[in-house]
Amino acid sequence: MSPPFPFHIIGFDLDGTLVDSSLELAAALNHALAQNGREPIAAASVKQLVGMGAKHMLKMALEQSGPFNPEELNQLLPILIDHYDSHLGTQCPVFPGLEAALDRLSAQGVRLAVVTNKYEHLAVKLLDAIGLLARFETVIGGDTMGPGRSKPKPDPIYEMITRCGGGTAAFVGDSIHDVRAAQAAGIPSVAVRFGFLHQPVEELGASAIIDHFDDLVPTLHNLA
Residues recognised as catalytic: 13
Question: Which ranges in the chain belong to alpha helices (H)?
Answer: 22-35, 43-46, 54-65, 70-86, 98-107, 120-129, 155-163, 176-185, 216-223
Q: Residue 151 in contact with residue 178, Cβ under 8 Å? A: yes
Distance, in Å, from the CA atom of 88 to the CA atom of 130, rounded to the nearest integer, reads 9
DSSP string, 13-42: -SBTTTB--HHHHHHHHHHHHHHTTPPP--
Q: Residue 193 in contact with residue 201, Cβ under 8 Å? A: yes
Distance, in Å, from the CA atom of 202 to the CA atom of 215, rounded to the nearest integer, reads 16
Sequence-separated contacts (24+) of 55-58 with Cβ below 8 Å = 57/25, 57/29, 58/29, 58/32
Distance, in Å, from the CA atom of 45 to the CA atom of 190, rounded to the nearest integer, reads 24
Q: Which amino acid is at 58?
A: L
The interaxial angle of helices 120-129 and 70-86, nearest 10 deg, is 30
Distance, CA of 167 to chain centre: 22
